[in-house]
């Protein structure tokens, strides 16, 4: 007998018929001999309706009152689902987040879970009842006992946190699609089901726009080793296993806030290639990286920063087994660009810098916590380490620094984030998974391709493609390249609780008024963009920055897959596909398992369709999403 947490999303409980279907499904699971805790969302678009209502009354409703309002949606669902189960003869009890004691921090509208009391649920399960819990909500443990919500889409987080706290065998997330698909089927109906995916890959996909799963839910699954099954509530077909790759079990206190950073990594043997003033034409990144593929060098971070006038800067780092080839690489790149340009007059500048290190902090705990990146920059500044290049995703921040500074940097970051070099994880031996066994490593292993690797190889291991059109891009020109300046900038945003993603610091450093200066660009949520522009414009005078520019009409397209590690052809292919479709790339940021490009907003859907088909992800059957 297993203990299973089942979560049903809004569409799955969107009508009386759907609620009855959910009750049937729960009963079947109980009849098969399992104990079940059900977590439900608000019916259909209830939460959207409540948000709209609030905004009809107030332009800027107080967050506390929003929580009181929005949490009502889930309360309706638990009562109705519980009644439907009782109609089928199944004893049940419905409980709100407060009744369970899902204790959260006092951060209205975006609270993180601190702790879940399991006693009441356990007691009810022991009486053979199904416990139906309201998702998305919790309560503070201050004397006010305020109701809190976890942020939109937060029922996934409630479900996985409950599964962790109850040490459930696994958690099933029932939704309106057959599972995790290679991309959003509403945009690309040929999207295919992925049968299993690692938490790390899912974390990137979810935070890059695949809203099928809340990234915080994936984080908890990974940290507490909860296997997740994402599946459709319309069929009995199995969906996607989202699997943690390292058995571990943390303390259940401060569940979501214990550690924002899981680990600090570094690679002290890299070199950096910078291409400055590359023509801003679609196709240039593709040409450069196609040449690099043929060099068979191991490209790591790639960034392309904002353009000034009609040129871009592209920089990338290379891992050093190929160190000796640096000069050859530089020559090839120069040749590639020369071939691309009609005249040699405006030839881009190519520089190769040796003795470079990359230090990174990683962990999903940094999602929605702008202070984490700011703290990294400040710790480096305090240690006297200058940051030459930054590339971020929502779950990782990497800084390129001088190799000589690497040791200081790593020890400063360990101290700041209280992590050990190897990660201080407690290992739990997975004796009873309740699922039989599976081999986590098996098809996640990547073989290094040989030197004749071709761009046309159809077996690139890309798991999925995501589109995010909810972001805006900000650029600050001519930020003085002083120690601690980036830290100041991002601390300022953190003070205002602004989450920043895809921070890119230009590799080009210019002397203006006797001061070395760089441009910095990053993306923020659309809803924060105008406020950020005003805040930065005010700060610009004080800190001696240049112009602050906002572009709201951007889309971020990303490809994700652990298989791209050490496959230089993947980046080249992505850039090439975009070029073939005349889509100009404005910004690039990479991590080991993802590549994100910012493009014009109106090109977003075209871009993901093109990439989905070019990477061979399209299936023969179209996915129908229930209306």
Interface residues toward Mg ion, by CB under 5 A: 9, 153
Please list, in sequence order, all residues whose beta carbon lies within 8 angstroms of the beta carbon of residue 52, skipping any fewer than 6 positions away: none
Please list, in sequence order, all residues whose beta carbon lies within 8 angstroms of the beta carbon of residue 108, skipping any fewer than 6 positions away: 63, 64, 66, 67, 146, 148, 149
CB atoms closer than 10 angstroms to residue 530 = 12
151 exposure class (CB count in 10 Å sphere: 0-12, 13-18, 19+): middle
Near ligand ASP by CB under 6 A: residue from 14, 108, 153, 363: 153
Residue 259 partner contact from ligand ASP, Mg ion, ligand ADP, none using kind-dependent CB cut-offs of 5 to 8 Å: none
Residue 323 CB, shortest distance to Mg ion, in Å, is 46
Using the rule CB under 6 A, is 153 a contact of ligand ADP?
yes
Q: Which stretch binds ligand ASP (CB under 6 A): 30-38, 151-159, 325-333, 404-412?
A: 151-159
Residue closer to ligand ASP by CB (options 136, 289) is: 136
Residue 220 CB, shortest distance to ligand ASP, in Å, is 14
Instruction: Write the interaction track for ligand ADP spanning residues 99-138; mark x where CB under 6 A is met and - where it is not.
Output: ----------------------------------------
Using the rule CB under 6 A, is 14 a contact of ligand ASP?
no
Using the rule CB under 6 A, is 186 a contact of ligand ADP?
yes
Range 36-65, binding ligand ASP (CB under 6 A): 41-42, 47
Near ligand ADP by CB under 6 A: residue from 464, 507, 561, 569: 464
Residue closer to ligand ADP by CB (options 45, 488) is: 45
Please list, in sequence order, all residues whose beta carbon lies within 8 angstroms of the beta carbon of residue 60, skipping any fewer than 6 positions away: none
User: Facing residues of 198 across strands?
Assistant: 243
Residue closer to ligand ADP by CB (options 208, 532) is: 208
CA dist 198 and 40 (Å) reads: 25
Using the rule CB under 6 A, is 10 a contact of ligand ASP?
yes
Instruction: Write the interaction track for ligand ADP spanning residues 498-517; mark x where CB under 6 A is met and - where it is not.
Output: --------------------
Residue closer to ligand ASP by CB (options 151, 484) is: 151
CA 303 vs. chain centroid, Å, equals 18
CA dist 88 and 86 (Å) reads: 5
Using the rule CB under 6 A, is 11 a contact of ligand ADP?
yes
Dihedral class, residue 609 (left if φ above 0, else alpha if ψ from -120 to 50, else beta) = alpha
In the bound state, the residue with its beta carbon closest to ligand ADP is: 9
CA dist 90 and 130 (Å) reads: 7
Helix (H) / strand (E) element for 77: namely: helix 63-87
Using the rule CB under 6 A, is 152 a contact of ligand ADP?
no
- DSSP output for 437-466: ---SSGGG--PPP-TT--TT-TT----EEE
Please list, in sequence order, all residues whose beta carbon lies within 8 angstroms of the beta carbon of residue 459, skipping any fewer than 6 positions away: none
Q: Which stretch binds ligand ASP (CB under 6 A): 150-158, 246-254, 298-306, 390-398?
A: 150-158
DSSP letter, residue 181:
B
Residue 322 CB, shortest distance to ligand ADP, in Å, is 34
Using the rule CB under 6 A, is 176 a contact of ligand ADP?
yes
Residue closer to Mg ion by CB (options 214, 396) is: 214
Sign of the alpha-carbon torsion through 531, 533, 534, 539: positive
Using the rule CB under 6 A, is 229 a contact of ligand ADP?
no
The owner of tokens 């910004």 is 587
Helix (H) / strand (E) element for 525: namely: strand 515-525
Near ligand ADP by CB under 6 A: residue from 69, 147, 177, 494: 177
Near ligand ADP by CB under 6 A: residue from 40, 66, 212, 406: 212
Using the rule CB under 6 A, is 108 a contact of ligand ASP?
no
CA 543 vs. chain centroid, Å, equals 31
How many binding residues for ligand ASP (CB under 6 A)?
12
Using the rule CB under 6 A, is 155 a contact of ligand ASP?
yes
Sign of the alpha-carbon torsion through 452, 457, 462, 466: positive
DSSP letter, residue 41:
-
Near ligand ADP by CB under 6 A: residue from 81, 181, 337, 376: 181
Q: Which residues bind ligand ADP (CB under 6 A)?
A: 9-12, 41, 153, 175-177, 180-181, 183-184, 186, 210-212, 464, 625
């Amino acid at each position: 007998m297993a203990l299973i947490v089942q979560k049903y999303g809004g569409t799955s409980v969107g009508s009386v018929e759907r609620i009855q279907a959910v009750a049937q499904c729960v009963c079947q699971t109980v009849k098969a001999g399992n104990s079940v805790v059900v977590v439900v969302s608000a019916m259909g678009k209830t939460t959207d309706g409540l948000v709209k209502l609030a905004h009809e009354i107030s332009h800027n409703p107080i967050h506390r009152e929003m929580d009181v309002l929005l949490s009502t949606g889930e309360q309706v669902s638990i009562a109705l689902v519980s009644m439907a189960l009782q109609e089928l003869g199944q004893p049940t009890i419905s409980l709100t987040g407060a009744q369970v004691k899902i204790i959260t921090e006092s951060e209205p509208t975006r609270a993180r879970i601190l702790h879940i009391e399991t006693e009441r649920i356990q007691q009810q399960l022991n009486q053979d009842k199904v416990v139906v819990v309201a998702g998305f909500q919790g309560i503070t443990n201050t004397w006010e006992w305020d109701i809190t919500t976890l942020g939109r889409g937060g029922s996934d987080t409630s479900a996985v946190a409950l599964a962790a706290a109850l040490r459930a065998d696994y958690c099933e997330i029932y939704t309106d699609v057959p599972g995790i698909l290679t991309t959003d089927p509403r945009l690309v109906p040929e999207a295919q089901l992925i049968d299993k995916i690692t938490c790390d890959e899912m974390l990137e996909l979810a935070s890059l726009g695949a809203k099928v799963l809340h990234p915080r839910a994936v984080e908890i699954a990974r940290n507490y080793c909860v296997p997740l099954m994402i599946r459709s509530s319309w069929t009995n077909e199995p969906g996607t296993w989202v699997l943690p790759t390292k058995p571990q079990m943390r303390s259940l206190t401060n569940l979501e806030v214990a550690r924002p950073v899981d680990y600090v990594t570094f690679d002290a043997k890299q070199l950096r290639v910078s291409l400055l003033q590359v023509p801003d034409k679609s196709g240039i990144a593709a040409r450069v990286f196609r040449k690099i593929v043929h060099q068979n060098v191991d490209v790591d971070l790639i960034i392309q920063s904002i353009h000034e006038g009609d040129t871009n800067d592209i920089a990338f780092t290379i891992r050093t087994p190929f160190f000796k080839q640096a000069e050859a690489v530089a020559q090839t790149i120069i040749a590639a660009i020369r071939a691309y340009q009609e005249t040699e007059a405006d030839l881009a500048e190519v520089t190769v810098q040796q003795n470079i290190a990359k230090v990174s902090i990683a962990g999903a705990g940094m999602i929605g916590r702008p202070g984490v990146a700011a703290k990294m920059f400040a710790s480096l500044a305090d240690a006297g380490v200058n940051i030459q290049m930054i590339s971020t995703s929502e779950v990782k921040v990497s800084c390129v620094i001088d190799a000589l500074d690497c040791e200081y940097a790593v020890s400063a970051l360990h101290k700041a984030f209280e992590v050990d070099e190897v990660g201080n994880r407690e290992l739990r031996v997975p004796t009873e998974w309740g699922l039989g066994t599976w081999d986590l490593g098996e098809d996640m292993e990547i073989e290094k391709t040989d030197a004749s690797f071709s761009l046309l190889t159809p077996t690139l291991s890309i798991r999925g493609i995501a589109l995010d059109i909810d972001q805006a891009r900000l650029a600050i020109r001519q930020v003085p390249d002083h120690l601690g300046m980036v830290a100041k900038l991002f601390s300022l945003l953190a003070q205002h609780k602004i989450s920043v993603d895809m921070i890119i610091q230009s590799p080009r450093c210019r002397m203006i008024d006797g001061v070395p200066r760089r441009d910095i660009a990053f993306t923020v949520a659309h809803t924060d963009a105008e406020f950020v522009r005003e805040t930065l414009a005010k700060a610009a005078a004080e800190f001696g920055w240049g112009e602050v520019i906002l572009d709201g009409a951007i889309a971020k397209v990303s490809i994700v897959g652990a298989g791209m590690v050490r496959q230089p052809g993947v980046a080249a292919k992505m850039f090439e596909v975009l070029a073939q479709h005349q889509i100009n790339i404005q910004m690039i940021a990479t991590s080991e398992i993802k590549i994100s490009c910012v493009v014009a907003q109106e090109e977003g859907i075209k871009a993901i369709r093109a990439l989905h088909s070019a990477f061979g992800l399209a299936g023969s059957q179209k996915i129908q999403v229930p209306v």
